[in-house]
Structure formats: structure tokens, C-alpha cells
Amino acid sequence: MRILLVDDQKSLRRSLSLMLQGAGFETDEAESGEGALSRLGNQKYDLVITDLRMDGMSGVDLLREIKRENPALPVILITAYGSIDSAVDAMRLGAFDYLTKPFREQDMLEKIHASQAIPAAAAWPAVAVPSRDAQDIVAETPQMRATLIKAERIARTDISVLITGETGTGKTRVARFIHQNSARQQAPFVSINCASLPENLLESELFGHVKGSFTGATESRAGLFEEADGGTLFLDEVDTLSPAMQAKLLSVLQEKIIRRVGSNKGKKVDIRIMSASNQDLSLLIEKGHFRSDLYFRLNGIRLHLPPLRERGQDLQNLLQRFLAIYGNKYGRSGLRLTPRAEAYVLGYPYPGNIRQLESFVEQMAVFADDAGHIDVDALPEDLQQQTAPLAMKNGHTELTESGSIADSERRMIEATLLRSTNIGEAARVLGIGRTTLWRKMREYNLHFHPHGRSR
């Protein structure tokens, strides 16, 4: 695989080139968009990786020229965190994906492999941004808009999809969105939470069983694979599968043939598999808890859903949506938060994400006063007990990514670092992954010291 790297900073270009060569790729370099176009005119490449902001021709301008001359060539953009909006615009123009600085080598390699795994993906045409409330998915923040763009494009293919993210981030909704925008939309969408059943019952639920195959099997029964034939099967919390179930699932994915429990007769099925995990499967593989061959079958392409605490404007929109829903449900139309209560609601980190926010709002609707006002005393106990509610200015909360939501988040992370003995403990207390915590520490210029001092 031959990759063209484009960046006007030589040191960044060289370090990326060495990293990719170490991973087995051939690389060429260009110091400008114009230089890249010259190389593209003389050499065949499988992928272009370009910085978004460069002197002269920008990464977006380079993307436009590439798509005009060679629409099948995939392009990945690298951008700073503050320029994600521009990267999302580039995806509308046909970019395959983007990465924000600083990024992990694993994330870069994953996107490179994904760009080659989807035959039709390289030629993705320019698209309009899907509705920001597309099929009930709130997506005002650029990360979620990018996720919807990728989801809509993935829907046109039949590749397996692994959706990652914390509990309650909306993984099932995104899986359903992909199914409903795919060629399989008229066939069933079948979902199961792999953690909800013990292994013996899960096997029967997935593959079915024949009469008499175990105690209580009084009749033959089709499993979810058969029920989803022609459509999509969504396996939530796939990280909880036992080694034995992982082996059986891998066999079905390889052969596309299922056998009911107690039967030797196989049946061919035509199914698209989507799965979800709230754990990092690559870490589970390192620990020997998850099969790498099954991971590669499931991870045709990965979509990561950010936690709610990183989706400032989405939090506000979801809050208003749930207030309307539960106001109608309980006959309390016109529910509204006082400024003090809103400060608590918008400043909370939501380890349970959207599902937790919805539960909180339902409780607020029940305890609102007769006029529909929700003050601090009507908030759930978890919200009232937080130590750093969102700051207010002139009686109103700030709702921008760079405003007091970020200030509140910084204060919360700093306070947790001061109380924690190691980074892992701080991440657990905050309800986020270690990688997310490190990224936030870099973003807010926070440092951890073993004796409990951060600055």
C-alpha cells in the first residue's frame, strides 16, 4: 500500500512517515498541496493523508482537486481540535475521515485499513450533512455530525460495523440509523444485549434449538440469526461474550451457516452484523479476553460515539427534547429550569450519558412545581450533590464549547486529579477512559503528580 503524506511542516511529515513505514506501508511526502498534485500526476497512490491547514493550498482545496481528478482515491485529513468543523465540511466534500492532533498510532492505522476495506468508500460522493436530528439522533456538535455522515455512507455498504462508546451514548440508535438507510431496510433489524443472558440461554437465543435439546426445550425454536435473515443483527455489549461463545460466533460469521442447539443440520443465512462495545476490544485482546480473529470480523469499520460531557450543545438540545417529552407524558407542558437548576444540570459529567440524562429529566418532570418550574430542590439527588455546578453569567449558563462548560469540566478534572493516587483511579471516578482523560489533560494543560498535586 502506497500513501502520500502532505504537510508543510517537515518534522511532522517525517515523524508520520517513519511511523507508517514501521507499520509496513510505503510512503512519499509532499510539502504543499501543489507538490502533492504534481506527485499524484506521476505516481499511483492508494491513500492521501494531508494536514488541513497549510500555507498556500489548504487540505480542503487539495481534497477538491483530488476528487475532481480521481474521485476513487481516499483522503484522510489531520486537524487540530479547534478545526473539527472544517474537517466535517471536508467529509461532506468526500473526505474518507479525519483525525485530530494529537492522535494515537492505533487510531491512524485503523482508519488507514478502513479506507481500503470498503470497496465503494473511496468514491464516496459529496453529500449534504444529514439532518442534525436524523431519525431521532441529536447531532449539533461537529463530532456527532461527522459520525452521522460516516453512518450514512456506511449504510450504502454491507460491511460489518463496530460501534464503540460509553454506556448510554446511543449506540443502538446509530445501528438502527445505519440499517434504516441501507438496502436491507425492508428486512428485520434484530437487537440483543449479549450481557443480558447466561451463556447457555444466549446460545439458544442466537442460534435457536430443536425440541428436546435441553431441559425445558418442549418445542423447536428459531434463533435471532434466522429471524434477522436478510436484514441486520445487532450484538450489543459484544465484549461480554465468553470464549466459547466467541468461537461459535466466529464460526457462523466465517461460514454464514447456523446450526440450532441439538441439531447437526446447518442453515445458510444472509445477515449484516453490527456490534457494540463500551470497552476497548484491543485492550481485551492484549489481556487474552477477546479473540483477535473475531475482532477483525466485527471491526470492518468502527464508529466511536463521544460521551455526552463532550457534546456541549447536544446536551442542551437533548435536555429541551426530554423536557418536552416528559412534560407531555405527565401533563406538565411548558416545563422549564430555573437558572440555578440549569447550572447544575449542564455542569454534571453524566457517566450514564444520554440514558442518565433522560432518567433525570423524567424525575424533574414529576417534581416540578405547579407552574412547571424546576428548581434545585426538584433535581435528582446526584445532581444536587455535585460540588462544581456550571458557572452562570448574568443569571444564564454559557452553552458554548469554549465557555463555562469547558471551565466546569476543567475544574472537575483538576479536583479529581488532586484527590486521586493514579490516572486510572481518576478516570474511573470521572467515568471516562484513560485515553480520554489524557486528551483532556493535554487540552486543559493539566499535569498529574503522584503525590496528589496537579497544575
pLDDT tens-digit profile of 117-142?
765 544 555 554 444 445 578 888 88
All cell numbers assigned to 316: 442542551
All cell numbers assigned to 385: 450533590
Q: Give me the amino acid identity at 211.
A: K
**What are 28's strand-pairing partners?**
4
CA distance linking residue 60 with residue 50, whole number of Å: 9
428/98: higher pLDDT: 98
Give yes or no for residue 402 having a pLDDT over 60. Answer: no
In eight-state DSSP terms, residue 76 is E
All cell numbers assigned to 68: 475532481
Separation of first and last alpha carbons in the chain = 44
CATH label of the domain that carries residue 84: 3.40.50.2300
Note the pLDDT tens digit of each residue in 151-175: 988 898 899 999 999 999 999 999 9
Q: Is residue 110 part of a domain?
A: yes
Specify whether 153 is located in the same domain as 300. yes
Kindly report the backbone phi and psi dihedral angles of residue 445, in degrees, each rounded to the nearest multiple of 5, phi listed first: 55, 45
Confidence band, pLDDT 50/70/90 cuts, at residue 296: very high
Note the pLDDT tens digit of each residue in 61-103: 999 999 998 888 999 999 876 677 888 888 888 899 999 888 8
Non-local (6+) Cβ contacts of 53 within 8 A are: 59, 79, 80, 83
pLDDT of residue 250: 95
- Comparing CA positions, the residue from 85, 83, 66 lying closest to residue 146 is 85
Check the CA dihedral 245-247-252-258 and report its sign: negative
CA distance linking residue 148 with residue 397, whole number of Å: 28
Specify whether 97 is located in the same domain as 153. no
What count of other Cβ atoms lies within 10 Å of the Cβ of residue 423?
Answer: 15
Specify whether 231 is located in the same domain as 115. no
CATH label of the domain that carries residue 201: 3.40.50.300
CA distance linking residue 191 with residue 367, whole number of Å: 34
Confidence band, pLDDT 50/70/90 cuts, at residue 435: confident
Specify whether 96 is located in the same domain as 182. no
CA distance linking residue 317 with residue 324, whole number of Å: 11
Taking only Cα atoms into account, the Rg of the chain, rounded to an integer number of angstroms, comes to 24
Q: Which residue has the cell 447457555?
A: 200
Which of residues 90, 123, 156 is at a domain's end?
123
CA distance linking residue 221 with residue 178, whole number of Å: 28
Q: Which residue has the cell 466546569?
A: 408
Check the CA dihedral 344-147-84-15 and report its sign: positive
426/231: higher pLDDT: 231
Which of residues 306, 332, 355 is at a domain's end?
306
Q: What is the pTM of this model?
A: 0.78
Q: 32 is in which domain, residue-wise? A: 2-123
**What are 396's strand-pairing partners?**
393
Give yes or no for residue 393 having a pLDDT over 90. Answer: no
What mean pLDDT do residues 5-22 have? 92
pLDDT of residue 410: 73
Q: Is residue 129 part of a domain?
A: no
Kindly report the backbone phi and psi dihedral angles of residue 377, in degrees, each rounded to the nearest multiple of 5, phi listed first: -70, -15
Specify whether 10 is located in the same domain as 109. yes
Q: Is residue 437 part of a domain?
A: yes
pLDDT of residue 452: 42
Q: How many domains does the chain have?
A: 4
Kindly report the backbone phi and psi dihedral angles of residue 333, in degrees, each rounded to the nearest multiple of 5, phi listed first: -60, 150
Say how far residue 413 (Cα) sits from the centre of its chain: 22
Q: Give me the amino acid identity at 212.
A: G
What count of other Cβ atoms lies within 10 Å of the Cβ of residue 169?
Answer: 25
Q: Which residue has the cell 465484549?
A: 239
